[in-house]
Amino acid sequence: MVCDDEAMAVWMLQMIVAENVSVRREGTTLFLPADPTFRLEEEIKNVIIAVAKTHHIGQLTLWKQLLPLHVARAKHLCMHQPFRQKYCAAAAKRG
């Protein structure tokens, strides 16, 4: 699995290990366990769930960090007359 950057790779590695799944990292690449003897309903399922759960938590964490920035940017844009007339008035009408 290739991550966007090393910080993301380190964070994903730590979270996957916390899910009790072995993983190693080289740069931005994570190496997850795989073996022909792995069973779909056991080992493979555990790896997939750990990665999916970790990715989902990461996306939620990022969204919570970015949301205040988007709100602040929207408030700033609503201060400009042309933008306010076109978009903010329509949004206020929708409630």
**Other beta carbons within 10 Å of 94:** 5
Residues 6+ positions from 87 with CB-CB distance below 8 Å: 77, 78
pLDDT at 55: 82
Mean pLDDT of 84-91: 55
Give the separation between CA 7 and CA 9, rounded to whole angstroms: 5
Parse the chain into domains and list their residue ranges: 6-94
Give the separation between CA 13 and CA 58, rounded to whole angstroms: 12
Of 66 and 12, which is predicted with more confidence? Answer: 12
Of 22 and 70, which is predicted with more confidence? Answer: 22
pTM over 0.75, yes/no: no
pLDDT digits (tens, 9 = 90+) for 4-59: 888 888 988 998 998 889 899 999 999 998 888 888 888 888 888 888 988 888 77
